Amino acid sequence: MKSFFILFLWIGNTLMISQTNINNNFNSSNNLAYDTTKVLNVYNSPTGNSYTEKSIKGHKYYNEEYKIAEIYVDDRMIHKYAVRYDAYHDQIEVIENDKKFVLSKENKIRVVLKDYEYGLLLNKKGVEEYFILFNKNKETSLVLKARKKIEDAKKPQSGFEKPRPPAFYRDYSYFIKNNSDDLKKVRLKKNSILTVLKDKKEELEKFASSKKLKFKKEADLIKIIDYYNTL
């Protein structure tokens, strides 16, 4: 068991170093001259409650694995980093020179990955938060607000029950964003989606039917909204 744990740590460190090398090689070869101290903050990860993070079951990330992303400031690509989104603290972690930082929110950051991007949008309280945009560079997009919350530990109520540790759980909400960055909350259901996209209701129904796409499936809905943007 000890040998397996050591092997696991070695593999994890190797992957992180490899991703960092990819970042450094790309950024050097493309002469991306930008003072990255303007966008990087010191990493700090308090849980904000009485639990230590190690005691909480599960993880706080949208995707626990680091992925290579292009970082944009004012529509200019400034760097490539290995990133992952902390959905509990609403912050994006990055690896730079084998150290962990978080991206500043003060520079209208966009973090673009292969299949989606993280962008700063206003929530219903008027506060900027990271949202996941699936239809990149399109006027209309499916958007996900991926939150992680903590379910409290539970003590056994009888001798037959086992104690339950605190655990991270998903609290996800979907929206459709227009070109004015207005967010309309939706459920992954046909009627909910078509209420927002009612101006092209018939066309979308025909397209979804012809391609055998389901409005309740995230991947299918992204394709449906891609088609909506062509109409």
**pLDDT values of the chain reduced to their tens digit, one per residue, 231 residues:** 545 444 444 444 544 545 545 455 545 445 455 677 778 888 876 656 778 888 899 999 999 999 999 999 988 999 999 999 999 999 999 998 889 999 998 878 999 999 999 999 999 899 999 999 999 999 999 999 999 999 999 888 777 778 889 999 999 999 999 988 899 999 999 999 999 999 999 999 999 999 999 999 999 999 999 999 999
| Whether residues 191 and 106 fall in one domain | no
Indicate if 43 and 110 belong to the same structural domain.
yes
220 and 144, same structural domain?
A: no
Q: Are residues 81 and 176 located together in one domain of the fold?
A: yes
Task: Based on the fold, state whether residues 99 and 204 are members of the same structural domain.
Answer: no
Q: Which residues pair with 197 in a beta bridge?
A: none
Q: Is 224 exposed, middle or buried (0-12, 13-18, 19+ CB in 10 A)?
A: buried
Total count of domains within the chain: 2
Same domain membership, residue 94 and residue 61: yes
Query: What values do phi and psi take at 194, rounded to 5?
Result: -75, -20
Residue with tokens 């995707």: 63
Q: Which of 150, 164, 170, 153 lies closest to 46 in space, CA to CA?
A: 150
- Whether 130 and 193 map to the same domain: the answer is no
Cβ neighbours of residue 155 under 8 Å, at least 6 residues apart?
163
Burial of 141 (0-12, 13-18, 19+ CB in 10 A): buried
Q: Are residues 174 and 99 in the same domain?
A: yes
pLDDT for the residue numbered 185: 97
Q: What number of other Cβ atoms are within 10 A of residue 56's Cβ?
A: 20
225 lies in which domain range? Answer: 187-231
- pLDDT given at position 26: 47
The amino acid at 43: Y
Tell me: do 197 and 123 sit in the same domain: no
Asked whether residue 54 falls in the same domain as residue 163, the answer is yes
Contacts 24+ apart (CB under 8 A), 184-187: none
The model's pTM is: 0.83
Write down the pLDDT at residue 103. Answer: 94
**Do 112 and 53 belong to one domain?**
yes
DSSP string, 29-43: HTT----GGGTEEE-
Contacts for 124 with CB less than 8 Å, ≥ 6 apart = none
pLDDT on residue 2 = 44
pLDDT of residue 162: 84
pLDDT of residue 113: 98
148 plus 68 within the same structural domain: yes
User: Residue 38 corresponds to which amino acid?
Assistant: K
Structure tokens at 58: 């599960």
pLDDT of residue 40: 87
